[in-house]
Amino acid sequence: MTAAHGSAHGELDYHALNAMLNLYDAEGKIQFDKDAAAARQYFLQHVNQNTVFFHNQDEKLDYLIEKEYYEREVLDQYSRNFVKSLLDRAYAKKFRFPTFLGAFKYYTSYTLKTFDGKRYLERFEDRVVMVALTLAAGDLQLAEKLVDEIIDGRFQPATPTFLNSGKKQRGEPVSCFLLRIEDNMESIGRSINSA
């Protein structure tokens, strides 16, 4: 069986399903259902097979702190029970990526991976919780609200914040932009107003 055919049960793989989004069906309509199917197959055929398995939340948190993937200082602002309840809250939302591109982008660019880059250490919910814990800085209610807002799609932190929050090996959680500022008051004033 070739990779394009996916499993032995004749299911198409996520690449083939994603490509079908660009083809019209017999009625001349875009096959949006193929996008959702591609996202599902991406998890079944790639993400689940390449995610490090932990028996429980304590084992996962201990490992990620001990191996210096997570920033201990962020987690130390909260009780372990609160962190676990926040993870439960996030997972209870049953988040699913509605599109293949969303899932693919998240797992290639944002999720925490092993240092060799080959295996995934987080699901989307884990990343959301670490971002919420970092931004809330010890405020329990704010952490809960942030989890709800991000998972429900009402708030999305900027890329550096979402990517780096709570990670021990990270860049800064700020966006940067470049402005050309000339050496005169007009340019300086315009730059200040644009920032």
Q: What is the pLDDT of residues 17-64, one digit of tens each?
A: 998 888 899 999 999 999 999 999 999 999 999 999 999 999 999 999
Owner of token pair 């290639």 = 108
Higher pLDDT, 111 or 4: 111
Phi (first) and psi of residue 24, to 5 degrees = -80, 150
pLDDT band, very low/low/confident/very high, at 81 (cuts 50, 70, 90): very high
Q: Hey, what's the torsion of the CAs at 73, 160, 118, 97, to 10 degrees?
A: 110
Average pLDDT, the chain: 91
pLDDT at 3: 44
Domain assignments of the chain as residue spans, ordered by start: 1-50, 52-195
The pLDDT assigned to 177 comes to 63
Tens-place pLDDT, residues 146-169: 999 999 999 999 999 999 999 999
pTM comes to 0.82
Q: Is the pLDDT of residue 4 over 60?
A: no
Sign of CA dihedral 27, 29, 30, 31: negative
